[in-house]
Amino acid sequence: MQVEERRQQEHLLLQAFGPSIWTVDGPEVSFFGFPYPTRMVICNLADGSSWVWSPIALTDQLYSEMKGMKLDRVEHIVSPNKIHHIFLKQWQEKFPHACFYSPPGLSCRKVVEGVRFDKELDYSDGNSEKHAFYEDIEQVIFHGSFFMEEVVFFHKLSKTVIFGDLIQRFPESDARGWKGMLMWIDGLVGKRGSTPREWRLSFMCGKDKARAALNTVLEEWKPEQLVIAHGECVADGTATEVVRDALSWI
């Protein structure tokens, strides 16, 4: 019986990552010619609703699993940065009553024409009102880049920090050919991981702002687990040190 249950779990898209938090690995997408794996997160909030981070393609199987696990009452959908947008319209069509949150720089892009954004994640406009999911999930924005800023989240119950693209840590088996060589050069391969070099350079004049956000993650949140969109996650209790090493350039 245990063997059969294990086999069933292996075929599920929704993978438990801790109490009230699941990850889902999706198809690869092309980014400037590089094949990037996709990953999303679903959290079950204390009020019974679901919070979705960086949604991937919404297949019949994924929706069926969400429904079976009572995760289909989706009320919050967030993106970590302005390049995580490909599947937002599909999710809005399925969950028209959900609140869609825009990270800095996304809501004004032409690529999201037709997507309704209800709220901005950025508090810097003077709005100090906490988001409805704050009791379960905190956020901090890595400001300071002239190219792209990222919203990082912390799921309190599972002590999981959720990064989009700021931390990438691919296994060596994925780093092959000339594209793999570039990943090695950027420090994106192996257990430590890092941020793509060109993005690091865009923080050159704003590291103080980014450092303040990093201090929140390391000194206040002190995460035990790490979910990232691209590469290997951390579930062994060492997330704080992994984040510290990966973002030591800040």
pLDDT, tens digit only, all 250 positions of the chain: 443 444 445 579 999 999 999 999 988 776 656 677 889 999 999 999 999 999 999 999 999 999 999 999 999 999 999 999 999 999 999 999 999 999 999 999 999 999 999 999 997 655 556 899 999 999 999 999 999 999 999 999 999 999 999 999 876 556 556 565 566 556 566 678 889 988 999 999 999 999 999 999 999 999 999 999 989 999 999 999 999 999 999 9
Strands of the sheet with 21-31, listed across from one edge: 15-18, 21-31, 34-44, 50-53, 74-78, 99-102, 119-120
Question: CA torsion sign, 159 to 248 to 164 to 231?
Answer: negative
Q: Can you give the pLDDT at residue 194?
A: 87
Q: Can you give the pLDDT at residue 4?
A: 42
Q: Can you give the pLDDT at residue 130?
A: 82
- Beta bridge partner(s), residue 15: 23
Q: Can you give the pLDDT at residue 106?
A: 97
- Beta bridge partner(s), residue 34: 31
Q: Can you give the pLDDT at residue 144?
A: 97
Which of these, 240, 152, 161, 165, lies nearest to 196 by C-alpha position? 165
Question: What are the CA-CA distances from residue 210 to residues 45, 124, 181 (Å)?
Answer: 28, 14, 28
